[in-house]
Structure 1
Amino acid sequence: MSRLSIPRYAMALAHVASLRSEDPYRQVGAAALDFDNRVIATAYNGLAPGFEAPPGFWDDRESRQKFMLHAEINLCSLFRRGEVKLVASTTMPCTACMQTLCAYGVKEIYYRDAYHASDAPEIAALYGIRLEQVSDLPVMESGGMAGE
Structure 2
Amino acid sequence: MRLEVDDYFLKMAELVALRSTCKRRAVGCVLVDKKNHVTATGYNGVPKGFMHCIDYPCKGADAPSGTRLNECKAVHAEMNALLQLQSTDELTAYLTVTPCFDCAKVLANSNVTRIVASVWYPQTEVKDILEQAHIIVDIPMMVSSEEWDCQP
TM-score, normalised with respect to structure 2: 0.77
- Structure 1: runs of 5+ lacking an equivalent: 137-148
* Corresponding letter in the other structure for 1:52: M
What is aligned with 1:22?
21
What is aligned with 2:99?
93
- Structure 2: runs of 5+ lacking an equivalent: 143-152
What is aligned with 2:39?
40
* Structure 1 SS opposite 2:41: strand
2:130 aligned with 1:131 = no
Contact 2:91 2:111 (C-alpha < 8 Å) held by counterparts: yes
CA distance in 2, matches of 1:23, 1:56: 10
Identity of aligned residues (%): 26
Contact 2:13 2:30 (C-alpha < 8 Å) held by counterparts: yes
Closer, same or farther in 2 for the Cα pair 1:84/1:32, shift >3 Å?
farther
CA distance in 2, matches of 1:48, 1:21: 12
What is aligned with 1:67?
73
Contact 1:94 1:118 (C-alpha < 8 Å) held by counterparts: no
What is aligned with 1:12?
11
CA distance in 1, matches of 2:108, 2:133: 8
Q: State the Cα distance separating 1:33 from its structure 2 match.
A: 0.5
Mean alpha-carbon deviation: is it higher for 127-136 or for 43-52?
127-136
CA distance in 2, matches of 1:45, 1:86: 18
Listed one character per residue, the Cα deviations across residues 59-115 of structure 1 (whole Å, up to 9, x for unaligned) are 752478431110000011011473341001111101111111121121110111211
What is aligned with 2:148?
none
CA distance in 2, matches of 1:106, 1:68: 22
* Structure 2 SS opposite 1:67: coil
What is aligned with 1:57?
57
Q: State the Cα distance separating 1:25 from its structure 2 match.
A: 2.0
What is the aligned length?
Answer: 135
Match of 1:121 among 114, 127, 134: 127
